[in-house]
Every structure is written in C-alpha cells, then in structure tokens.
Amino acid sequence: MKSSASKSLFWGSSVALSWTWGLGLFFAVQFTFQFGLKGLLSFAIPNAIGLFLFGAGTAHIAKKAKPGQSLELIFQKWSTKLSSVFLFYQFIALSLTIFALTRYLFQALDLANSLLLLLLVVIALLAIAFLLGEQFGITKIKYSHAFFYGVLIILGIYIWVTKDTVASLPGMGNAPKNDLNFLGYLIPVCVGFFTGPWLDLQQWQRAIEMHKEKTSIRAGYLVGSLLFFAILLFHGSLTLWAMEQGAGIYARKGIDGIFYAQDMITRLLTSQGTNLTGVLPLAYFAFLIICIITTLDSGYIAVKWHLQHHVKEGKNMLYSILPKSLLTSPIPLFVAAAITALVAIEANLELEYFMVFFATYFVSYAIILIIRSLGDNPLEIHLAKTKIFAISCLSLVIAGLGYIHLEPILLIAGTLIPVIVGGWLATRKPIAAIQSSHQPLQDGQTDSFEDVRQADSLDTPVHSAAATQLAGSDNIASEYVQDKWYVHAFRATYGDTNSVGNVYFGMYAMWVGKTRELFFNYCLPDFDLKKTAFLILTRSFEHKFALEAREFDIIKVKIKVKNFNRKFATLEHRIVDQKERLLGKGSQSLLFVKADTYEQIDIPSEVLAAFTPFTT
C-alpha cells in the first residue's frame, strides 16, 4: 500500500499540471515583461495560494459533511444546477489553452503555410489529449502526470544550464513598455486566482478522487500548489533572463495598442545563433507542449465525467432522442474550443481577452459556491440565475473597457462588483425564510423547519408549508428533524378514512412505511438501487394503536433509530396529531443483505454513519 506522502506527491503533480493552462504558463511571461520580478511574484504567489485554498476548502467541506453526504454529492448538487456555468468555464479554459500554445509557440516560429500548420497543430493537440484521456482516466492520470512532471524537471534543468549559449541581442533598441497601473492588474489577478479553481471541473474531480482514496486533499493540494509555483517561477525567471538578453524588442503591438511579449522566449531561442532543430529550442518547445497537453487530457477526463453524470440525471427530452455516446462525449466541446482558438488567432486577439472572463464573469458564481459550500448546509442552493448572469455580463463589459482604455478604476470596479454582489446573494436569506421567522410556531415545531428538503429550482425560493399558511391556521413543515426524530407531517384526507369517518387502521402502517422511505432518502442520499452493493429488508414490524385520527387532522409520523448491533437495526416510530397527542407507536427491525445474492451481511459502514445522528 502506498504511503500517504507518496499519494500526495502523485496527486500534487497532477494538480499542478492540470492547473497550468496557457493562462498561467504564458501570462507569467507577460506580467514579468510588464512589471519585472515584482510582477512575477505578485502573479505566481496568489495563483499558488488560490489553488491551495481550494484544496483546503474542499477538505473542510468533506470533513463537515453530514452523515450520508459526501464531497461528490455536494459537488453534483451544484454541478447539476450550474451545469452550463461549469461547462462554459471549461470551454473558455480549453479555448485559452489551445490558443496560447498555438499563438505563442507555433505561430511565433513564422513557418511557411502558417494557417495550415496551425490547423494541423491544433488537430494533433486534440488527438494526443483524447488518447491520454482515454488511456489513463482519473484513477491513473496521477501516475502519467508524475512522469511528465519528472520530464519537466529534466527539461527545466537542461534549459537553465544551457541558456547562456544563446547570443544576446545588443544594440537593437529599448524594449517597448505599456503604461499600465500595477494595482489595476493585481486586483483582478488575485480575484481571478482565488476564485478560479472553484468552478474548474478538473480540480473538483481531483479533490473528490483524493477523498475516495482517503488521501489528504489538503496535503495533495499543498504539494500541487508548490509544484505549480515552481513552474511559474521557472518560466518567469526565464523571462527575466530573456529580457536581459534583449528579447523585449520582440514585444508586439496588439489591436488595442498594448504591447504583448508572451512569445519573446520562443523568438529569442530561434533567433541568431540558434535554429529550430537545436537541442535548446526543442527542449523549451517540449516543456511548453507537456504543460499544455497535461491540461488538455485532464480537461477531457473532467468534461466526460461531468457530462456522464449530467445526462444520467437530466430530464431533457433530447437525452432520449440523441445518442448517449454523443451527449457524453467531450469531443464536441473540444472541437468548439479549437475553432474558437483559431478564430481568435486569425483576429489577432491576445491571451488577456480570454482571461477577463475569469476575473469578472465567473466570479459571482464562484463566490456564491464558496460561501454556500463552506456554510452549514452546502446542499441548499438558491440562486437568481438571471440576476447573476446580468451582473456577470456587466462586470465583463466594465473590466473590458477599463483594460482597453487603460483605466485601472474601471478594471478594478469590473472585478469587485461580482465579488460584492456574489457575497450579498450568497449570504442573504430567501424571502420565505424571513417571513416564516416572524410567524408563531405551533406546538412541537422548531426553527429546524429550515432543514426541510429544498426545491430543485434555482430560481424559486423554497417555501415550507409553514411559510405559506394564512395567519391563525395550522402550519405544517412536511419534512424536518427535531430532537433526533425524523418527522414527516401532512394532513389526513378522505382517502385515508373508512366508512365511519375515522382513519382506516391499515393507513397507519402505510404512513410509517412512507416516512421510513423518506427517512432513508434524507440520511442516505447517495443510495442508488441500480448501483448499491446492499439492500435493506424489513425483519419485523409492530404497531400499537392509542387514539383515532379523522379527516383533515394534521398527522406527524416520527422515526428514529432505537438501537442496533452488528447485524440488525431497530427503528422506533411515533404517530401524533397537531397537539402532540399520541395516536400510535411501534418499532421495526431491519436486516441487510448483498444486492446480488441476498446473503445477510453486517450493517454497512455508510448506514451506521447515517443512522448515528438519529440514535437515542
């Protein structure tokens, strides 16, 4: 069995490489070109810290998850509700990554038939990513990434040791400079990197897999953030060396009038005294390609994982018409990203035009996800999607104008607006909760009615029955937890009664059975009858009648775990009316068997964990 340290090291290398998009890899060059060593450190440090904080945050979520919950379940709740946001985030990230390598490496080589060459390069990148993604999968990718990171170390050492063989570029004039405000850049960079990992499918998939393997998420991301920082530090230091050699003269003036130098190292290494077939340029090219490929293969695996779950849980009519293999394939998204990258190259766009999305558009969603998932109940999801979308678009426009017109105030405002709005939306109470907090509670009711299972809609606030009743009428919360009892409340109707008007005796057992199923759904939300390794069977059931109930009475069925041993669990139930008068009580014994052979087994560990909070 591998040690926890080795697992953290393997996962850390995968975390680092999956986070080394074209953004981190090439913007480190641009920020260093613009602001020197100060720019490099102010870019790399927040980036690495933001990555580690995601790992620490997800470790905290996993640790505080309620019985029956899991890190994967919590993520799936969010990813199902915000599937389009997660996919759009991944689309921009993939487009940016393909764009960056193609524009700042292959286009910078100034080869003949450049358009055809770039098209072939993009196809080759996608093919390699698909092959690696299919070959390794999330459970094995940490090993391939550990190997690739080892290759990067060897390449980095060779590049650094032999870089001085490259001739400098004396007497070619001073490098052009941009009149950019450092703070105007730094704040968007920090906001983007502190919130960015929370919407990245690749990072969520790694944290979930670490949790499944019982590997420390916090340790894995600590190693990952340090290894990622090393990549940025190396590439930024190489940029400082290239500038000393005079490579700043290769900075290009973009369509916005700003000078860009992301390809300065490529141009320096292929300038006087060197050529494309030299070992040093090839080593640098290999370094860049490995960094990008190990992001693309991670993206392929993560998108496929997300689509498979989304299609399985989705109810869209198209899911029953289109082939499942098409709906769950990442290839269409990758092809769209590749086309977007090629169009952006043809339009002479730069990396920053993709980056602005991560500092503005996605920030509100990420802030809400962070606050809600780190809060007391990460499964509660109430979002005004239209409002968030409007704010995200507005912030994108404001920051974009600030960048193009070199107005740091607009750039900072465009970044901070979604932070403030996202924080406000994440912490405010739904209207229904505010209204219900001012209503008198009925006997036996508590503020725990906020634990009522939430509605599926993102746009509709959750209204418990208690919040929708008129003043002076009986309030009912259909499902809640009170003093270790799981409670299901409802009103008896005509269908529950017999010919003389009182509730038919057989209905009491049916009510208990229904409440038991709701109780299982509450404490074992991950249970899937199609995948489960065990089944829960009823060994015995008994009920003692006390009082009669009649039509339109409010009925409360309460269930908790009375006791359990290695093989059997006993559930206790009580049925009361709106005045808490006992209508009946009893118990039932449960046993557990294998799903395939029906062989009796010990109580599964996940059931014990789920039952413990309801045990007397």
Q: What does the block give as tokens for 443?
A: 């006997």
In the structure, what pLDDT confidence band is assigned to residue 315 with cuts at 50, 70 and 90? low
- Position 159 scores a pLDDT of 95
- Per-residue pLDDT of 546-596, as tens digits, reads 999 999 899 999 999 998 888 999 999 999 998 889 999 999 999 999 998
Are the CB atoms for 556 and 573 separated by under 8 Å? no
Tell how strand 259-260 and strand 582-594 pair up.
unpaired
- Position 114 scores a pLDDT of 74
Q: Can you name the residues that pair with 600 across neighbouring β-strands?
A: 593
Q: Which residue has the higher pLDDT, 77 or 29?
A: 29
Cα Rg of the chain, angstroms: 29
Give CA–CA dist 36/40, Å, rounded: 6
CA dihedral 520, 525, 531, 537 (to 10 degrees): -10
Percent of the chain whose predicted confidence (pLDDT) is above 90: 57
Tell how strand 554-564 and strand 568-577 pair up.
antiparallel
Q: Can you name the residues that pair with 556 across neighbouring β-strands?
A: 489, 576
pLDDT > 80? residue 387: yes
Q: What does the block give as tokens for 308?
A: 């498979």
Least confident of 237-246, 273-282, 413-422, 551-560: 273-282
- Per-residue pLDDT of 153-194, as tens digits, reads 999 999 999 998 888 877 555 677 777 788 888 999 999 999
The Cβ of residue 566 has, within 10 Å, a number of other Cβ atoms equal to 8
Are the CB atoms for 292 and 189 separated by under 8 Å? no
- Mean pLDDT of the region 524-551: 90
Give CA–CA dist 406/180, Å, rounded: 6
Q: Annotate 404-470 with DSSP letters as a single string.
A: HTT-HHHHHHHHHHHHHHHHHHHHSPPHHHHHHHTSPPPTT--GGGGGSPPPS-SSSPP--HHHHSP
Angle of CA points 63, 66, 68, to nearest 5°: 110
- pTM value is 0.71
Q: Annotate 490-538 with DSSP letters as a single string.
A: EE--GGGB-TTSBBPHHHHHHHHHHHHHHHHHHH-TT--TTT-SEEEEE
Q: What does the block give as tokens for 286?
A: 């290999």
In the structure, what pLDDT confidence band is assigned to residue 314 with cuts at 50, 70 and 90? low
In the structure, what pLDDT confidence band is assigned to residue 526 with cuts at 50, 70 and 90? confident
The overall average pLDDT reported for the chain is 85
Q: Which of 292, 289, 241, 291 is nearest to 268 (CA)?
A: 241
In the structure, what pLDDT confidence band is assigned to residue 313 with cuts at 50, 70 and 90? low
Q: Annotate 267-295 with DSSP letters as a single string.
A: HHHTSTT--TTSHHHHHHHHHHHHHHHHH
- Per-residue pLDDT of 333-361, as tens digits, reads 999 999 999 999 999 999 999 999 999 99
In the structure, what pLDDT confidence band is assigned to residue 456 with cuts at 50, 70 and 90? very low
Give CA–CA dist 354/27, Å, rounded: 11
Q: Which of 523, 527, 512 is nearest to 571 (CA)?
A: 512
- Per-residue pLDDT of 38-73, as tens digits, reads 999 999 999 999 999 999 999 999 988 876 678 888
Are the CB atoms for 238 and 266 separated by under 8 Å? no
In the structure, what pLDDT confidence band is assigned to residue 316 with cuts at 50, 70 and 90? low
CA 195 to chain centre: 11
Tell how strand 485-491 and strand 534-545 pair up.
unpaired
Q: Which residue has the higher pLDDT, 532 or 157?
A: 157
Give CA–CA dist 352/100, Å, rounded: 10
H or E stretch at 556? strand 554-564
pLDDT > 70? residue 32: yes
- Position 606 scores a pLDDT of 87
- Per-residue pLDDT of 594-605, as tens digits, reads 998 999 999 998
Percent of the chain whose predicted confidence (pLDDT) is above 70: 87
Are the CB atoms for 569 and 587 separated by under 8 Å? no
- Position 208 scores a pLDDT of 94
In the structure, what pLDDT confidence band is assigned to residue 292 with cuts at 50, 70 and 90? very high
Give CA–CA dist 440/449, Å, rounded: 13
